[in-house]
Structure 1
Amino acid sequence: MYSEKVRQKADDQKKITQQLCIALNNIQHVHTYTWKLPKELDWQGLEASMERLCGLEGKQQVQRALGTQIQSIDAGMQRQSNYMINQLVEKMVTDLRKYIQHISLSPDSIQPDEAVCPLMKFLDDNLIILSEWLVMENLRKILSALWTLLLDLIIEALAINTGMSAEFYERFHFTLEALVVFFHAEGQGLPLDSLQNDKYKGLKEELRLNRCSTQELVEYCYQAKIRQQKSTDPSLYGMLCIKCHYEAAESKLSVEVLHATNLIALDANGLSDPFVIIKLAPLHFFPGAKSQQTQVKNKTLHPIYDELFNFTVTREQCSNSTACIHFTVMDHDWLSTNDFAGEAVLQLQEVPGFNKSAIAGGIKNVSPVFLKLTHPEPHVMKPIMKMLEGRTADREAQDFVKKMKELEVSPD
């Protein structure tokens, strides 16, 4: 009955008040006292009396009955406490959403601390009341609920506003870090490990990527492909055998596609009609460079190509560690879209003639290299593709997304 009256009081009041804090504390005090009842009421004495009168079974019946009552009271008090906490936080939702929107709509010309100032003042004003009147356990529960709410509101703001300026994302990155400092309160608030949870980490990474230029995002894609290529994970999509060599005097990169093995079957007959597309990447490192491709080999999972391709590139173009040769294996379909079978990348710095010494006799004397074929990692690529898709006014972003979709459409 008491907790129900407290609940009604919480529903009636529109703002956080001293009375609400005291009511929540009272629920906590009652909840804590509940577990002292067995000792206060000498339940052990009652159990001993029942054992003398009715034996062990009588004692066990009393234990079950009293234990059930305590657990029922405990569950009810916890529900009421959680309801009160949610109500206190709910009274701040409208204002918090307004201040998050203020950050969204702030002009790019103002400093991030100026944009976040109204939000921090609102939190500070309310936390003064909460910290003064709440016991520490309740205060931490409120802070934890508020932290989750603020993360959700920022995520919501990012979902509504896509393809925004770098300054927009910088404001929210500044906001996120300012909130961590505020809620941690030099160790007096929430611990850092609870603040920097998975939701926070995902949000921080999204903000970091959104602050990147389109070219930086494209490079990030290829860095992920290079890491995946170098991982020790087994190949699920087959292997590609190639040879590469760079002739510095002629600025000529030679790439020979030898063969592939154990490709995945993409046709109804259990085979494929594979061909390989070879291109230099990222494209902004090699403006004007055209992709090239092998012949189609029909009805096989172990195609032999033995085809040589040449690209004109300077050593300076290949100096970045992200610069690579991108191999894409496709299954040729006569009547529909070609299917993606797998991809591999080779850093140009690994090619003889760049950082490695040139080999006498050129590519014919180079040892073959086996590259495992992979599929893009969704948890890495999907967020980047989503960000680039949102940059509708950025032709470079749209072109990259289009090419990735054309190459990497898998039937599953």
Structure 2
Amino acid sequence: MNELQFRDVPESDVDRALELWWLVFHDRPDEKEKREYHRAMVLRCDRVGAYDGDALVGFLVAHRFTLSIPGGELPCPGLTFVSVAPTHRRRGVLSGMIAELFRRCADHARPVVALWASEAAIYGRFGFGAGTYGTSVEIDSTRPLALRVDPDRRPLRLIDADDAPAELGPYYEATRTRRAGRIARDSVRWRGEWLPETDEDDEELGPPRIVGLGAIDEPLAGYAIYRTRREDDRAKSGTVQVAELEADTAAGEAALWNYLAGIDLTGTVRAWGLAPDDPLLLFAADRDQVKAVAEFPALWLRLVDVRGALTARSWEAEAFLVLEVRDDRVPANAGRFRLAVSPHTCTYEATAAAPDLSLDVRDLAACYLGGTEVRRLVLAGLVTEHTPGAAAALDAALRTAELPHTADEF
């Protein structure tokens, strides 16, 4: 056997890299357009391959994303297309590719990496923690939607999918930093991921529809992207599948949900991956009509450079703590560090002092955006609190007005 080498995947190897990905995930798109879209997407990304001699036996790509964090944003590679040839399982292929990615992140000052886990059990051992959660909701729309707030009375208008990136893009970017965990989108991502003619996961759904809140000569105050499914059996009602809903206010959000629940010939509204603190779950007057049917880990984060990540975000309150961090993959992160934060400053320096909290880097990643409380990890036995009140102090400093959230799966 040759010694494995981990290096760039040149454009000349992209086609066989995609063949490896399709092999591993038991798929191969029949549509030429979809194959070309995958190829073009991979060419826009950073690529790492594992080579056994001349054979490509492992592959991953990293989107060049920008991620909102509390108080700002960071460059954040988005890891995807992770593939290991079935002939080379358990030979260190995945470990080597991820180590190479982490090395590149350190070289280019990219302190965090993100992914969506196809198998959640895999990535914890690489230091990834669930940084955001999604909540799936189902609405019985066979009757009027009961709400505890009055919907915004501004007019609603349909937006053509071809015009949507230009109309929705500036609004999305202006509101993106309200919540941590959200990815900047360019026109290519809008069209390829949010507005394709056919839904890749459910081909029975119709084309994308967009409804905007506010008259055409007014600033956009919210929007919803959705698709519908018609039932051939007239005795059954159709479905509205909501991809994304954004609004400036609770009243604006209520207007959009009211519209979606009132679409003719439909009886169910489904929304995948809302924020766990989405206002709908509070202002719905009948929680038997509006049900949260699932909650799941969404965006997984890895702090490749703990100091760089912590000093880049804002903090809600003062905290002066010694953290003992375990990190088997990135030795520079491991050790004891004195964290001193206020709403305007953050320092993080090595120390020999006794720790207030001991935790693994994956658990620090889970807390980083404010989506998981440290005290819950203490109760779960995952974080050790040496100094009473230390977890509460760190939670107060990490707290954000809204929970982190992303619906950008990749």
Determine if the TM-score, normalized by the shorter chain, exceeds 0.5: no
Q: Which has the higher contact order (CA 8 A, sep 6+)?
A: 2
Structure index of larger Rg: 1
TM-score normalized by structure 2?
A: 0.23
TM-score normalized by structure 1?
A: 0.22
Higher helix share: 1
